[in-house]
Structures are given as structure tokens and as C-alpha cells.
Amino acid sequence: MASMDNLNVTVADAEPVRVAVDGQIDSHTAVGLDDALAEIAADRNVSVDLSAVSFIDSSGLRVLVRAEKRHSGGGGALTLVSPSDAVARLLEITGLATELTIDSP
């Protein structure tokens, strides 16, 4: 688990790899999420649980888009799971809601 001010990232090696994100993803904390996602092999399927994210800015979106490109290009896939209202709103505003795979049970 990577932990930094205002953000916790927990990675569980399963199929798919489960990444739980809790807190705020901004220019100061996005690097921690980026590092955690970059450590996962590109040919793996990854499920990123964003239900506990209270804030996200363009830095966080950039990390998610970069990870999605890395995995889709490497034979894996990245799915955003249960985005919080804050995340869902920014995905809608930016048009990424139709570009990224989102699972909202």
C-alpha cells in the first residue's frame, strides 16, 4: 500500500489486479497513484476502485488516461470501478466518460 498525505493506494494482486484509491488525487498525490499503476505489468487487467476518492483534478485524470493507454497497448485492460460523484462529474465534463471503461455497479 502506498500512502501519502490525503491519498492511500492499495494494490491486490488478483485477476484483475485490484487497485483501491482513497482520498484526494491532485498534483501532489497523483505521482503516488502513477507509480503504483506503473508497477503493474501492461499485459494485466486492472480494476481501479475510485469510490472513496473525494477530489480529483487534471493530474489524476492524466494518470488514469496514461495507465489506460499503457494497459490497452500492452494487451491488458484498465477499468474504473464505482467512481465517486467527484470523479464521475469530472469524467463527464472532460468527455472521458465515453473514452474510458467505467463499471458503475
Residue pLDDT, tens place only, 26-59: 999 999 999 999 999 999 999 999 999 999 999 9
pLDDT at 4: 57
Q: C-alpha grid cell for residue 101?
A: 471503461
Return the CATH number at 46.
Answer: 3.30.750.24
Q: Per the structure, how many domains does the chain have?
A: 1
pLDDT mean over 2-12: 80
DSSP states of 30-53: HHHHHHHHHTS-TTSEEEEEEEEE
pLDDT at 6: 87
Given the C-alpha cell 498525490, which residue does it identify? 29
The answer to whether 32 touches 62, Cβ cutoff 8 Å, is: no
User: Residue 20 belongs to what domain range?
Assistant: 2-103
Cβ count near 3 (within 10 Å)? 13
Which amino acid is present at 54? S
The answer to whether 88 touches 61, Cβ cutoff 8 Å, is: no
Q: Which of 93, 44, 34 is nearest to 65 (CA)?
A: 34
